[in-house]
Amino acid sequence: MRRKKATAAGKPTPRPGKRSGAAEAEAAASWQLNPKVIAGRMGWPGAGRGRSANLDRGTRYIGTTAQVGGLYPFVLGAGLPPEGVPIGPDMLTNELVCFDPGGWVGRLTQNPGVWIMAQPGAGKSAITKRITMAYSAYGYKTVVPGDVKGEYAPIVRALGGQVVRIGRGLDRLNPLDSGPLRPLLPTLSEARREPLLAEINGRRAELLQALLATEVGLGRRPTATESNVVTHAIRVISEKLLGADPVIPDVVALLRDGSGPLWSRLMVNSEDEYRSHVREVTLALENLCDGPLAGVFDGPTTTPVDLAAPALSVDLSSLLTAGNTVVAAGLLATWAYAYSSIDSARAVGMMNRPMVLPLDEMWRALRAGTGMVDAMDSMTRLNRSKGEVSIFITHSLRDPESLPTAEDRAKALGLMDRCDSLILGALSQGELERVSAQRPLTDAEMAMVASWSSPTITGVDGTTQQHRGRGKYLIKIGTRAGTPARLELTDAERGLFDTDAAMRKGKNQ
């Protein structure tokens, strides 16, 4: 005698073909209202419920990832954790992509450095500004020590920060300024004051020698003799001023005077011999206070850094008309001043906030000279211990390769290796191959990024044009598979991030 199949509830299940419409409705209602009822081995009874007389046990396949990928090519890597800065939807899965280089240290990354590369107009600055604004909400201090185009000033003001505008008739910056340590020095005991003053004088000499290496100065590294006499001159003046900050004209005046201590330092016995040693470096220092740089670095700092402000921008846009060499000298001086002031404040416990340091227009900074390359190299090695998210933004890997010496080129190319987070916008195939030589990319990743570098697209009005890859990025964290994301700006961001306003203004005039 045939037995009827029993369900989990213990009631006999009628054969599918024998059940009436009313019974089907009753079974459906019972399934929806009673969550304890589960399907039998053959599936839910009734039409359309997956009932099957035979169950397929499935087939096992063993093969390499390349072979199995051909059978099921739709496998994707795990997405990035939903932490930190929201970027926008994943271009493949449409899930939200977030980015948190500071918070991922020790888990997904080993250092918080970020390297961003894309063609002009593809949105490098937009994603950088999104990161800086979001990190500001997390308590980070945004510091833009050399805002060449002045494009970060609106954001810094919106964050309630400080904007210092360097230029003739604007704010002035003293490269030899001791920053926030000056009011602290008189309060310290002699045992603590002497080593701190020696550290300040060392930084002053280092910056002045870096400025001398620019085209505005000597156009080369100072010789051992020149370096020695400049360092000693700064020390002599600092002792005479009793805690006040020297300025470059003070150093020039002492070198021109040629006092006894300087003769002894250079081991010379006549004025002519002394002049032959210091003539070139003295004239180079005077160049830093005259010509296009007059009124910029030749006096006391007019607007000191506000350590309590949530953001800081040193705006150098007024120097653009003076040429690249002047901008390079300005970048070097403002970077050293702002970064050293904050670093010194940290050393004495006056500031403990983490920072975001976006370095836009990186090609200009690299060409500022050896001092800038050394500063960036030091930053990438110490940013983890200091809690700094440093963001390097460039168009091409040829920028580091354009530096004059092999030593500087090696240091500049090493910056990318020490940035665990890589963000790629639209790039040519050749540029992607250069990137892949340092940070391996898959063929699929290269094909996707290269597809964004197509010619610009024209808007419906027939005049508006924008880069086809604008707002599209491949985010690679360490050796993980890249995550393609599309940045979606808010209305407020569109107003603050607009870098094309000057171009539109010129067309409409």
| 106 and 52 both lie in a single domain | no
| 370 and 481 both lie in a single domain | yes
| 358 and 449 both lie in a single domain | yes
| 359 and 399 both lie in a single domain | yes
| 165 and 128 both lie in a single domain | no
Q: Write the burial class of residue 454 (CB in 10 Å: 0-12 exposed, 13-18 middle, 19+ buried).
A: exposed
Has residue 69 been placed in a domain? no
Among 225, 243, 203, 245, which Cα is nearest to 347's? 203
Average pLDDT rounded to a whole number, residues 409-434: 87
Has residue 130 been placed in a domain? yes
Return the pLDDT at 502. 45
Max avg pLDDT among 126-135, 332-341, 491-500: 126-135
Count of structural domains within the chain: 3
Return the pLDDT at 140. 92
| 370 and 307 both lie in a single domain | no
Paired tokens of 111: 């250092």
Which DSSP helix (H) or strand (E) runs through 473? Answer: strand 472-477
Average pLDDT rounded to a whole number, residues 495-508: 57
**How many of the other CB atoms lie within 10 Å of CB of 44?**
16
Where helices occur in 124-177 by DSSP H, the ranges are 124-137, 153-158
Give the domain range for residue 416: 85-140+354-508
| Average pLDDT across the chain, whole number | 80
Paired tokens of 268: 């010379």
Return the pLDDT at 472. 93
Average pLDDT rounded to a whole number, residues 42-66: 73
| Residue 274, SS3 per DSSP | helix
Has residue 211 been placed in a domain? yes
pLDDT band at 160 (very low <50, low <70, confident <90, very high): very high
Has residue 77 been placed in a domain? no
Return the pLDDT at 131. 94
Are the C-beta atoms of residues 121 and 466 closer than 8 Å to each other? yes
Q: Can you give the CATH number for the domain in which 124 is found?
A: 3.40.50.300
pLDDT band at 506 (very low <50, low <70, confident <90, very high): very low
The C-alpha R_g of the chain, in whole angstroms, comes to 32
Among 28, 128, 71, 59, which Cα is nearest to 425's? 128
Return the pLDDT at 504. 46
Question: The tokens 């945004």 sit on which residue?
Answer: 142
| 267 and 122 both lie in a single domain | no
Has residue 238 been placed in a domain? yes
Q: At what angle do helices 224-241 and 248-257 cross, to 10 degrees?
A: 110
| 339 and 198 both lie in a single domain | yes
pLDDT band at 485 (very low <50, low <70, confident <90, very high): very high
| 349 and 359 both lie in a single domain | no
For residue 382, pLDDT beyond 50: yes
For the chain, the residue count is 509
Has residue 174 been placed in a domain? yes
Return the pLDDT at 16. 47
Question: The tokens 């009313």 sit on which residue?
Answer: 22
Are the C-beta atoms of residues 439 and 422 closer than 8 Å to each other? yes
pTM: 0.75
Are the C-beta atoms of residues 319 and 330 closer than 8 Å to each other? yes
Running DSSP on this structure, what letter comes out for residue 359?
E
Average pLDDT rounded to a whole number, residues 145-157: 89
Max avg pLDDT among 31-35, 225-229, 423-427: 423-427
Lateral strand order in the sheet of 421-424: 162-165, 311-315, 141-147, 355-359, 388-394, 114-117, 421-424, 472-477, 483-486
Max avg pLDDT among 94-98, 146-150, 342-346, 412-416: 94-98
Are the C-beta atoms of residues 307 and 351 closer than 8 Å to each other? yes
| 131 and 13 both lie in a single domain | no
For residue 313, pLDDT beyond 60: yes
Question: How far is residue 412's CA from residue 371's CA, in Å, rounded to a whole number?
Answer: 12
Bigger pLDDT: 226 vs 345: 226
308 contacts: CB under 8 Å, gap ≥ 6: none
Bigger pLDDT: 263 vs 8: 263
Are the C-beta atoms of residues 502 and 150 closer than 8 Å to each other? no
Distance between alpha carbon 167 and the CA centroid of its chain, in Å? Answer: 25
Has residue 64 been placed in a domain? no
Average pLDDT rounded to a whole number, residues 364-376: 68
For residue 110, pLDDT beyond 50: yes
| 195 and 255 both lie in a single domain | yes
| 331 and 359 both lie in a single domain | no
pLDDT 10s digits, 457-467: 555 555 556 77
Has residue 118 been placed in a domain? yes
3-state secondary structure 213-227: CCCCCCCCCCCHHHH
